A = this chain, B = another copy of it.
């Protein structure tokens, strides 16, 4: 394998959150594929193992995917990076799982990178890790982000000390490129 074909996330395990219902499908599948294509091992994490039905555009049911490990079965030490997708209902549900929120909080407190998109940043607010950070999100969350002490900016992708955020599915190309870069940089 030549250097240009090297796998930047070889040896990195990435956890990607998936709500029991209502995560935005493409915000789950695209980042998952991007880090897997870059060589990462990926675990799908959720409140409980089993089928989780995703949506398109917040309200149209789409395909189901398998939650492979429950938040209660894993620890922050198990992952080099985490990803949190949006979908209004899915993200609203994920923020209510104390174990998922604590995993994210500990992970970021340990200085490790994460990619959080669209309505996903509600979990960051819940984890209490927004204060003093610059980030973006779906535009409806900007007041919540500011009230949590964050600086909200309207850009397709924002990086703040390993925390990668984007606004919506239209930003996925930039989001996926940036999480691979940031996750790789952190694993060097």
Contact = CB atoms under 8 A, between A and B. Distances in A.
Interface of A: 21-22, 55, 58-59, 61, 88-89, 92-93, 95-96, 119, 122, 125-126, 139-140, 143-144, 147-149
Given A22-B59, A92-B119, A147-B149, 4 more contacts: A88-B88, A89-B89, A95-B143, A144-B147
Closest 10 CB pairs of A and B: A147-B147, A88-B92, A88-B89, A144-B144, A58-B89, A96-B140, A147-B148, A92-B140, A88-B88, A126-B143
B95 A140 contact: yes
A49 B139 CA distance: 23
Contact of A125 (B59, B144, B149): B144
A139 B88 contact: no
Contacts of A61: 59
A14 to B, nearest CB: 26
A129 to B, nearest CB: 12
Contacts of A147: 125, 144, 147-149
A140 B119 CA distance: 13
A140 B90 CA distance: 12
Contacts of A95: 140, 143
A22 B125 contact: no
A23 B95 CA distance: 20
A140 to B, nearest CB: 5
27 contacts: A21-B59, A22-B58, A22-B59, A22-B88, A55-B59, A58-B89, A59-B61, A88-B88, A88-B92, A89-B89, A92-B119, A92-B140, A93-B140, A95-B140, A95-B143, A96-B139, A96-B140, A122-B140, A122-B144, A125-B143, A125-B144, A125-B147, A143-B148, A144-B147, A147-B147, A147-B148, A147-B149
